[in-house]
Structure 1
Amino acid sequence: MARRRRKQEDRATTGSGPHKRRPLLRLAKWAFVLGVWGLVALAALVAYYAHDLPDVERAMAETREPTVTFRARDGSVLATYGNAYGGRVELDALPPSLPRAVMAVEDRRFYDHHGVDPLGLLRASWVNLRAWDVVQGGSTITQQLAKNLFLSPAQTLKRKVQELILAVWLERTFSKDEILELYLNRVYLGAGVYGVDAAAQRYFGKSARELTLYESAMLAGMLKAPSDLNPRHHPDAAHARTETVLNDMVAAGFISDARAERAARERRRGHAAVSTSGRYFTDWAMKRVRGRIGTPRRDITVHTTLDPDLQRVTQRTLSDTLAEEGRAADAGQGAVVSMTPDGAVRALVGGSGYAETPYNRATQARRQPASTFKPFVYLAAVEDGMTPDTRMVDEPVTVNGWSPENYDDTYRGEVTLREAFARSINSVAAKLIARVGAETVVRAAHRLGITSELQPHPSLALGTSEVSLLHLTGAYAVFANRGRDAQPYGVQRITADDGEVLYEHPDRPGSRLVAEPHVRRMTDLLRADIVWGTGTGADPGRPAGGKTGTSQNARDAWFVGFTAELVTGVWLGNDDGRPMDGVTGSGLPAAIWRQVTRQALRGVPEKPLPGRTPRVADKPEGESTRAETGSGGDGVISRIIDSLDGGSSRARTPQEGPESHELNRGR
């Protein structure tokens, strides 16, 4: 009895009886049950979201829009169409600073977790809680790769669960190095660029294999906000972020304080952007690419004919002219095309600046060419048996009810075709088209490369039907190409990413379009215009030929001409057809042509024009040429017409006047 009483007292003292143990057992029991059900719920959730996981094999196949990269003659990149993906770079080929910089800011424990980092999640949660904002993410590099490869960026529970599932799958399927390599080659780094190699090319003009520590830290820093940290557009923000990355690399033990300080002093702002001036050309060339190979189905590189130095000179010359003299004369826009005699386009500028006005006036606009159309009239006359020394009378004339006038309402009487062409005498042009027929002139223009519809009216002699600058310049190239076809082209070769050649421009002479004797006669006329005609303002100081043109009320002003090496066309005007204030083809367009030609041929030895010895064109008696006064030209005065061209008698000195602005008085 006493023993039983002592046991009861002991139980009361220690509180370890059956009644006291039951609540703990019940708690453990319910914890176990809830845990089991939690696992069941988690399994159900995983199963629910796993049944419609994306097609992993298809996503890994890197299906995307093909990239078309345009390169200039010197191999430099002009433009990239589609999203830019760099070449795949193996992890071992990258500088160690790049993956370390990425891990320092994105996932320091990358090599220590299995796709999901609980410690990283806790750390990010604590940092966000203290900041009362989302300032740090807890996703691992593996999770980010899963999202980039397979999922949309939508912030949903489904996407997060699937991201975790795929991250575990990636960890089980690939090694850590392979995952990091995939991530670096696929990650988005702003400006339509994917992968560190494409980013290195875009921002620093080099391969990712050549990145410095500072550049590696800058790319890693851009992962947080690629657009806001673009080193081209936001250099200060990009530099500040780069310093943060360098400090994170120190904290992670990847580099020393001293090395981080040295790198921070580098202060790179990013490689100079690809010039947008080449976009006029590449927009035009892109249509040629589709015409040659259809819509690209894989990455291709287009090797072009463009000379980037000449392109920059041409764009700057036009832009500066429009901004200064053009503004004063109410000339709002312009275009310039330069090509070799066989049609390879070296520069193509379609406006004052692509960023402000991407409309391509060199290829898309159709404008009245005015007197720059006259070479087709004179070609038809030459092919009809006439020569530069053929004489005609400059006098009032009416053709089918149309009566053109000369600018100054004066007439010179008997003149040679050479003088009529060089002085842009309208009455003679009207007589020529009446003699050979407007249809013959239309056929001549179309044969040389003019593609637009031409109205066979006598006024066509003064360039009343609209043409494009590109095709007009290409037609003049036939004269520089000794009468052979010179269709403008910009695509030299197209290659696939594996090196396969998909297209190559044929390396053979164009077909014969104009007989050589007729080319010599036309060169005579075109040369005279620059030496002592309306085009003297274009004289580049070497053998050249060309023609000025000004349409009705100075709505269009042109100069198109050539040397033995280069053919260039210039147009100025306003998009709405508004008249300019006193701008004629012999003024600003001729000056632009002269400057571009001189810059392009600086240091290049002079060559005679096709079929000609280095001498000036015959001028009317008593007329002083620039060659004689030492200010240009290409030799002493001598007779031009060779035995194939017949006689060479001279005409009297005419009175020179400015170019006309009016339809019936154009020059």
Structure 2
Amino acid sequence: MAARRHERIEPSFGGSELGDDDFRISADDRAVPNASSGPRRKTAKKPVNDRKPAKPAASSRRGRGKTQGGGGSGRGSGRRRRSFLGHVFRLFLMLGVVGGLTVAAVVGYMAAKLPQEAWAIPDRPPNVKIVSVGGELMANRGLTGGKEVSLDEMSPYIPQAVIAIEDRRFYDHWGVDPIGITRAFMQNMAAGETVQGGSTLTQQLAKNVFLNPDQTIRRKIQEAILALWLEQKFTKDQILEMYLNRVYFGSGSTGVEAASRRYFDKPAEEVNLGEAALLAGLLKAPSRLSPANDPAAAKARAEVVLAAMRDEGFISQAEYADAKAQKPTNAKSYWTGGEHYAADLVMRDIKQLVGDIDQDVIVETTIDLGLEKKAEEVVRKTVDGASQNVSQGALVSVDGTGAIRALVGGRDYAQSQFNRAVDAKRQPGSTFKPFVYATALEKGWRPESIIDDAPVRIGNWSPQNYDNKFRGPVTVADALRQSLNTVAARLVDSAGADAVIETAHRMGIKSDLVDNASIALGTSEVSLVELTGAFAALANGGYRATPHLVNRVVTEQGKVVWERGAEVPPVVVSPEIVGMMNAMLTRVVSAGTGRRAAIDGWQAAGKTGTTQDFKDAWFVGYTANLTTGVWLGNDNGAKMRKVTGGSLPAEAWHDFMTAAHEGLDPIPLPGDYRIGEAQAPLTADSGYSDGGFYEGESADPYYRQNGEAPIPPQGLPAEGGGRVYDSAPPPGVTVEGPARGRSSDRSLFRSIFGG
């Protein structure tokens, strides 16, 4: 018993959760003295490295387990749990590796499928900035509708508003935002519909620049790949700047500058808080939320943006309240302003002038923006104030070189972009008669020549005067002053329709003209711009005045791409003919059908025109400063109620030209021919034939009166020749002052062309 009492019982760890290989203590690991051997003695220990832990027998483990009353069962259960978790961990690790490799493979495949050009930022479509002759902005054209601007050149509210509503973590993520995607997913699930997107601004930029808008998994993966690439290549500010200059804001506006001009008629740098919120709100649905389509919806969305800006700390509560109180923006459904008619015409011309444009350019035009605004005002006021079924009008004004100073193609550009001044061709009526009379003068007729206003038949055609009356013998000058149709027909019959057509084309008419006698009454269709340009040859002393809009094209850096030359145009009407025509057409304004066009202090000349059934009414007239044409009518050809060229068109011409000449010193028209006075003999260069000078021979300008034998016009010898009446004036012609003779003064030419 004593020996058993002193027997050492080794401690057991059977209840431990340690496994078989865990560290534990056994009797063999210690030197224990025998109970009968006396006091314990120190024994020498082997080095630790020389000891080999004894492997416990299975029976011993089982015995310990039993001894501990089930502790072994708990330990075995723990070992099984650990084994299971290990398997799960290894499974997930394996799946993660496989998944990662799969994702990498998919990403690599999608990246490889991207075209090579996707790895370079494409140039932004070039903008064409169109400015007036004074440098004022008229319009932006091109695919974008506005130039590219830096962050420093736009209102700071714009990027703040866009970040607040589109990507509040823009400066924190690396191109793809898992947090944003998760948040959007949760909100969309809660709402039961898509109320928020998870794409970052960088992803949107990648989509806009490189990809199509298709909503496919492949496109979304490629978008994410490109977004990551963009974030590595560019700074956040560069990405934001590119985005704001390339995103679509609706109504044909790409980029913040275009949108600011389009909706607020101001540059992006002047946009206020409320306007910036409206622009940012458009990004969700540019067409539907455009203030040009739905001002109320645009305003409601802008308030959502303002609230987001406040929540993000970009603006204060007071700023939020002030901006929210702004009235809704009411924008036209299209650009507004008559100058856009000219801008459209510039875009037609520019490709012919400079070819394809691959960078932003500035087009310097001939338009005087002050005159342009006045022209638009006059056309709208005339049409709106008329009670004679008038719905449209057009006006063109050119100087002596043909430079277009004002061009209005309709009552309201926002409602109709069709350019009636350029693209509409209509019968000009009696406004075509100056070409008839100029041809007759070149063939030997003179303003003082007498001709019979009586019934006339040319083939099967028998024209009538507008009042169905005949006046008998009249001077050529009086026939033009009163716009007598029978006389114009006789002159065409005398000079030949082909000669009249040649004169009209030489002076600037480009349209095809029908070779028949009815051309005398303007039955061939022409445009207002070409008719006005042709009249300008009489205003400038006889030089061709081809209408044009573009003076110069330069880059944004000032490099000249194209510039109009300074060549002197050819003479198309001799100085003598110019003088006679100006004398006759001055009488049309001072005492004829165009009296309502007269302007104080200036010598003005022109011609009225009214087509059959009052479908078209024209007045084209000029001073030494400007030549202006006005047309009124209806697009559908509906009849106006007795609107003649001498009524509303002449009045509109008067209003515009009065404003255009305000403050200018009067200049007389070239030529100084006095009808009925003694004139100097005609020179060899008094007329034209086949584009060259008329050599003094005369066509037979005889006429029949009351069925009698042909007799020559008074002052023209029967044997022909190029001289005119040089003694007493013909009957009925009043001498208006002392004889002065024709003047060959070219001061007007020098003032226009610098010669």
Would you say same fold, with TM above 0.5?
yes
SS at match of 2:113: coil
Q: 1:369 aligns with which of 404, 428, 447?
A: 428
Q: Which amino acid aligns with 1:387?
A: R
- Aligned in 2, Cα 1:411/1:179: closer, same or farther, shift over 3 Å? closer
Q: 2:250 aligns with which of 166, 190, 205?
A: 190
- Residue number in structure 2 paired with 1:640: none
Please list, as runs of the form range in 1=range in 2, the aligned pairs for 1:108-119 lying within 5 A after superposition.
Answer: 108-119=168-179
Q: 2:110 aligns with which of 41, 46, 49?
A: 49
Q: 2:439 aligns with which of 380, 402, 405?
A: 380
- Aligned in 2, Cα 1:271/1:506: closer, same or farther, shift over 3 Å? farther
Q: 2:631 aligns with which of 551, 571, 582?
A: 571
| Mapped partners of 1:253, 1:227: distance in 2 | 29
- Residue number in structure 2 paired with 1:136: 196
Contact 1:147–1:153 under 8 Å retained in 2: yes
| Mapped partners of 2:257, 2:467: distance in 1 | 65
Q: Which amino acid aligns with 1:83?
A: L
- Residue number in structure 1 paired with 2:123: 62
CA drift of 1:478 comes to 0.7
- Residue number in structure 2 paired with 1:523: 582
Contact 2:176–2:227 under 8 Å retained in 1: yes
- Aligned in 2, Cα 1:395/1:288: closer, same or farther, shift over 3 Å? same
Contact 1:78–1:275 under 8 Å retained in 2: no
Q: Does 1:475 align with 2:555?
A: no
Q: 1:33 aligns with which of 94, 101, 119?
A: 94
TM score, norm. by length of structure 2: 0.75
Contact 1:482–1:611 under 8 Å retained in 2: yes
Contact 2:447–2:675 under 8 Å retained in 1: no
Q: Which amino acid aligns with 2:338?
A: S
RMSD of aligned alpha carbons? 3.3
Q: Which amino acid aligns with 1:23?
A: F
Q: Does 1:257 align with 2:257?
A: no
Contact 1:521–1:645 under 8 Å retained in 2: no
The number of residues matched between the two structures is: 626
Contact 1:54–1:151 under 8 Å retained in 2: no
| Mapped partners of 1:651, 1:318: distance in 2 | 42
CA drift of 1:399 comes to 4.6
- Residue number in structure 2 paired with 1:463: 522
Q: Could you list the per-position Cα deviations for residues 264-311 of structure 1 after superposition, in whole angstroms to 9, with x for gaps in the alignment? A: 445573888742533433333333223322343444332222234433
Contact 1:215–1:268 under 8 Å retained in 2: no
- Aligned in 2, Cα 1:4/1:447: closer, same or farther, shift over 3 Å? closer
Q: Which amino acid aligns with 1:483?
A: G
Q: Does 1:173 align with 2:233?
A: yes
Please list, as runs of the form range in 1=range in 2, the aligned pairs for 1:240-639 lying within 5 A after superposition.
Answer: 240-265=300-325, 269=329, 274-325=335-386, 328-399=387-458, 402-541=461-600, 542-575=602-635, 577=637, 579-612=639-672
Contact 1:293–1:503 under 8 Å retained in 2: yes
Q: Which amino acid aligns with 2:451?
A: M
- Aligned in 2, Cα 1:381/1:227: closer, same or farther, shift over 3 Å? same
SS at match of 2:338: helix
CA drift of 1:526 comes to 0.3
Contact 2:617–2:633 under 8 Å retained in 1: yes
| Mapped partners of 1:181, 1:296: distance in 2 | 23
SS at match of 1:112: coil
| Mapped partners of 1:245, 1:524: distance in 2 | 68
Contact 2:335–2:413 under 8 Å retained in 1: no
Segments of structure 2 that go 5 or more residues without pairing to the other structure are 1-61, 678-722, 735-755
| Mapped partners of 2:223, 2:539: distance in 1 | 65
Q: Does 1:24 align with 2:104?
A: no
Segments of structure 1 that go 5 or more residues without pairing to the other structure are 620-642, 655-667
Contact 1:77–1:274 under 8 Å retained in 2: no
Contact 1:469–1:571 under 8 Å retained in 2: yes
- Residue number in structure 2 paired with 1:224: 284
CA drift of 1:156 comes to 1.0
CA drift of 1:645 comes to 9.3
| Mapped partners of 1:576, 1:133: distance in 2 | 49
CA drift of 1:82 comes to 2.8
Contact 1:128–1:134 under 8 Å retained in 2: yes
CA drift of 1:522 comes to 0.8
| Mapped partners of 1:332, 1:524: distance in 2 | 34
SS at match of 1:60: coil
| Mapped partners of 1:446, 1:49: distance in 2 | 63
CA drift of 1:653 comes to 9.3
| Mapped partners of 2:638, 2:304: distance in 1 | 55
SS at match of 2:171: helix
Where relative contact order (Cα < 8 A, 6+ residues apart) is larger, the structure is 1
| Mapped partners of 1:648, 1:448: distance in 2 | 33
- Residue number in structure 1 paired with 2:712: none
- Aligned in 2, Cα 1:599/1:618: closer, same or farther, shift over 3 Å? farther
Q: Which amino acid aligns with 1:301?
A: I
CA drift of 1:508 comes to 4.5
- Aligned in 2, Cα 1:466/1:25: closer, same or farther, shift over 3 Å? closer
- Aligned in 2, Cα 1:115/1:204: closer, same or farther, shift over 3 Å? same
Q: Could you list the per-position Cα deviations for residues 115-164 of structure 1 after superposition, in whole angstroms to 9, with x for gaps in the alignment? A: 22222222222222222221122222222222222222211111111222
Q: Could you list the per-position Cα deviations for residues 43-81 of structure 1 after superposition, in whole angstroms to 9, with x for gaps in the alignment? A: 2222232221233566403264x4333333343443443
CA drift of 1:529 comes to 0.8
Q: 2:729 aligns with which of 639, 649, 657?
A: 649
Structure with greater Cα Rg: 2
CA drift of 1:485 comes to 1.0
Q: Which amino acid aligns with 2:232?
A: R
- Aligned in 2, Cα 1:97/1:403: closer, same or farther, shift over 3 Å? closer
- Residue number in structure 2 paired with 1:11: 72
SS at match of 1:171: helix
| Mapped partners of 1:181, 1:574: distance in 2 | 47
Higher helix share: 1
Contact 1:205–1:271 under 8 Å retained in 2: no
